[in-house]
Structure 1
């Protein structure tokens, strides 16, 4: 998948999924899935590829490209003569731009890239959301972004998509404007789960309430936290339950404070059972929130390694115990319960 921070001029026609896609949840996946419906059709290339062209020439790029790695050959090299699939999103999130306040996300940029790559998309375009883009009218947005820069032949959006200055443009407005340029617009109905709309906000609400099963069901995968293992106070080791302290990116949304059953991916092992605690550890007078993971029946050193924790279930809220012995007894109960639930 070719990743870029801006589009100058697409050298190939594209089928575009447009949106913020925080979480890349089941509803987003439906929007993205529609870009493949027309991308399978081949077109006659107007100009054959130049075999002597510089391999560093970007397909969708400029001097503002982000330092993200190209992990496969570029779409032009392997799909010339076809409509390429593209996911186009905004960086930063428009709400963060307008509020001027840092925002937390269900997926970090790296996680979003991973999930979109797994869907088989050719391009991920991260449009810089700045004052210039924010001032574009719906008509100008279609002309400048979809027509001139992306060479779009088809665009897919969710039913509640809004665009243009002050978000005045609706999905049906996009459909009408784009039709003047021969662009087909697919408006995807809101994905529902048990009669309830799937959205990033509803997933956040579930995570904040500790309703992990529901959040995972809406996402279509287990919510995850990824961080580098760093040294902490090593209090867990003295209690007989050594923990890996994770340095989580500040922009990552953290669920409700408390104890969770989890599955852990290390550089060498996938899906190892464990117990995670998020919070300030009131029993030992912790001063700042931490994310600590105890891997069941594990003895290897993880310091400095990157670990991914997949949340499975919320076991209990964080609480203060009257003694370390009481805390130790509760941790043992948490481990026993997690082991039993993960085994089943």
Structure 2
């Protein structure tokens, strides 16, 4: 898959089959649209194109509301889309000027003159252009003039999936990572760089890798202990992750840490990915480090039991 970070990098295609959207999470509902996109491109000898936006349009249109977090970073999204067989991904910088394009200018300047669409696939509720005034009616009105066809994914097909990015975000914020995985079709993950911590975990037999997440817009699940797998240096390890403020030692900042089982390498400065499989328990303040250590042994047993029973 070829990735373009601006329209200026993209060379107009002679037979583009395109779809448009933020596709946060690239969940089952999104996958129905994308699979149809790739299928149609292949059957017509065209090339599949996804036009997506960064940052999320809502953060630009409603700058006062910065609380919205994304299921995927832009790199994670690109990786998933590549795995689905998409030929071209255009990541459009979403700006005020872009949001003020009229529906007609959007169709003419972006879809026709820049991308070269011959076929456009949209969801039943797709909106575009200034104040989201553009929709299927506007697309149909200009399709004949500009020589492209439209295929709309019916509402029933999308609703049969019974999933949305909003539902997934809510599940993750409630710690329901297994439910989120059912919606997504894959396990939610966090990727970041291993940084130095205060090494308290080592003193009680549970050394942890402290993870720094660079992308501030990335959603972090609720505080607690999770069963995870850890991808590192081409290997995949079992472990248990912790998210929280470490109340037992009166911590002041929210930490993301992982205890990797049967692992003793020094990995400071390296990038790792944690895949969240199961929520184990909420974050709790213990009476001291000995009580915490006792609970961590129970957490490890619960994690290993999960892996033994997992399909």
For the residue of structure 1 that corresponds to 2:39, the secondary structure is helix
For the residue of structure 2 that corresponds to 1:144, the secondary structure is helix
Q: Residue by residue, what CA displacement relative to the aligned partner does 1:154-179 show, whole Å, maximum 9, x if unpaired? A: 11122222111111223454344334
For the residue of structure 1 that corresponds to 2:194, the secondary structure is strand
- State the partner residue of 1:267: 233
Q: Residue by residue, what CA displacement relative to the aligned partner does 1:88-146 show, whole Å, maximum 9, x if unpaired? A: 11122111112235552111111111111111111110122122211112122111111
**CA 175–320 in structure 1, closer or farther in 2 if over 3 Å, else same:** farther
**CA 342–174 in structure 1, closer or farther in 2 if over 3 Å, else same:** farther
- State the partner residue of 1:162: 127
- State the partner residue of 2:5: 5
- State the partner residue of 2:42: 40
The structural deviation recorded for 1:2 is 1.3
- State the partner residue of 2:61: 98
Aligned length: 303
- State the partner residue of 2:98: 133
- Whether the aligned pair in 2 keeps the contact of 1:26 and 1:219 (CA below 8 Å) is yes
Gapped runs of 5+ residues in structure 2?
none
RMSD over equivalenced CA pairs, Å:
1.8
Distance 1:196 1:150 in 2: 30
- State the partner residue of 1:301: 266
Residue 240 (structure 1) aligned with residue 242 (structure 2): no
**CA 146–196 in structure 1, closer or farther in 2 if over 3 Å, else same:** closer
Distance 1:31 1:172 in 2: 19
Return structure 1 stretches of 4+ with deviation > 4 angstroms: 190-193
- Whether the aligned pair in 1 keeps the contact of 2:17 and 2:46 (CA below 8 Å) is yes
- State the partner residue of 1:153: 118
Distance 1:312 1:234 in 2: 25
Distance 1:22 1:160 in 2: 16
- Whether the aligned pair in 1 keeps the contact of 2:140 and 2:150 (CA below 8 Å) is yes
Question: TM-score, with normalisation over the residues of structure 1?
Answer: 0.83
- Whether the aligned pair in 2 keeps the contact of 1:179 and 1:185 (CA below 8 Å) is no
- State the partner residue of 1:51: none
The structural deviation recorded for 1:41 is 4.4
Structure 2 residue aligned with 1:230, among 195, 200, 205?
Answer: 195
Distance 2:149 2:139 in 1: 10
The structural deviation recorded for 1:313 is 0.6
